[in-house]
Amino acid sequence: MSLPLAPTVTLRHGAEMPQLGLGTWPMNDAEAEQAVATAIQSGYRLVDTAFNYGNEVGVGRGIAASGVPRSEIFITTKLNREDHGIDEVRRAFERSATKLGVDTIDLFMIHWPNPDQGRYVEAYQGLVQLLGEGLIRAIGLSNFKPDHIDRVVAATDVLPDVDQIELDPTQSRPDVRAYLSQHGIVCEAWSPLGGQSSDLRNHPTIARIAEAHGKTPAQIVLRWHMAIGNVTMPKSADPERQRQNLDIFGFQLTDAEVHEIDGLDDGDSRLTDSDKFGH
């Protein structure tokens, strides 16, 4: 039995994107195929992958095996630094679409800006072309800082639909979120639960709020993301955990609880610096 579907957000170029989906890193093809199929059957309609994850074939097979029509699934994938360039982006699209077994990609993203290489503007121009041809429904950036975004918009006069950034309650990035909101760009959070090494789910504040609502700590953190307007895609291959992660729309956090969770922010010192890292 499937859960109610996640609400959607309307992207700048008209696509409807579910607010919560399934992340697939670091699953291999076999793991992704099974996880995606069970997640979709449980009610997920957003699946996030990337060329660099090495599991696009498995994601595509999982979507096909789910029994849910392709038209109801929102697929996100990302291109690598070697694909930065107008022609290269087209080849990257063709490669990913073939692996996924689809004709169109809902949200195609530049995975990292790689400013040392200096070609992310050309990559963005390639995405704009694909959007104009209807091969993708939305343009995405991943790990782009506001100055990176300013540069691609200045070159194209086209704002992106989404910026996917590292974000959780301990590094909530209010300045970047404010910039994205001001420009009508959806903020999508990766590593929404703080990553495997994080102790976020054991934090006393999260535990107390979880107990008050009869929910798990992970459900509280994910509901916080929804409350502040993020899209996010927690990764899990476990069917029960998948269902728990999606089962967060039957309750709401109070304004006071959201404010308490906001207070867990301890700065950006642990963030991956996209001026120095990328692939």
**CA angle at 52 for the pair 46 and 56, rounded to the nearest 5°:** 50
Q: What is the pTM of this model?
A: 0.97
- Hey, what are 50's tokens? 């990337």
Please give the pLDDT value at position 67. Answer: 97
Write the pLDDT tens digit of every residue in 76-135: 999 999 999 999 999 999 999 999 999 999 999 999 999 999 999 999 999 999 999 999
| Confidence band of 62 (pLDDT split at 50, 70, 90) | very high
Q: Which CATH architecture has domain 8-262?
A: Alpha-Beta Barrel (3.20)
Please give the pLDDT value at position 196. Answer: 67
Sequence ranges of the domains in the chain: 8-262
In the 8-state DSSP scheme, what is residue 7? P
Per-residue pLDDT, averaged over 256-266, amounts to 97
User: CB of 109 within 8 A of CB of 164?
Assistant: yes
Please give the pLDDT value at position 197. Answer: 58
| Confidence band of 21 (pLDDT split at 50, 70, 90) | very high
Q: Provide the H-helix boundaries in 43-145.
A: 56-65, 86-100, 120-132
Per-residue pLDDT, averaged over 31-52, amounts to 98
Query: How many C-beta atoms surround the C-beta of residue 254 within 10 A?
Result: 12
Please give the pLDDT value at position 109. Answer: 98
Write the pLDDT tens digit of every residue in 176-207: 999 999 999 999 999 999 976 578 989 999 99
Please give the pLDDT value at position 201. Answer: 87
135: left (phi over 0), alpha (psi -120 to 50) or beta: alpha
Question: Which residues belong to the active site?
Answer: 53
Write the pLDDT tens digit of every residue in 147-169: 999 999 999 999 999 999 999 99
pLDDT of 278 strictly over 90:
yes
H or E element in which residue 245 lies: helix 239-246
Which among 186, 190, 270, 257 is positioned nearest to 220, based on CA atoms?
A: 257
Spatial distance between the Cα atoms of 218 and 250, rounded to a whole number of angstroms: 15
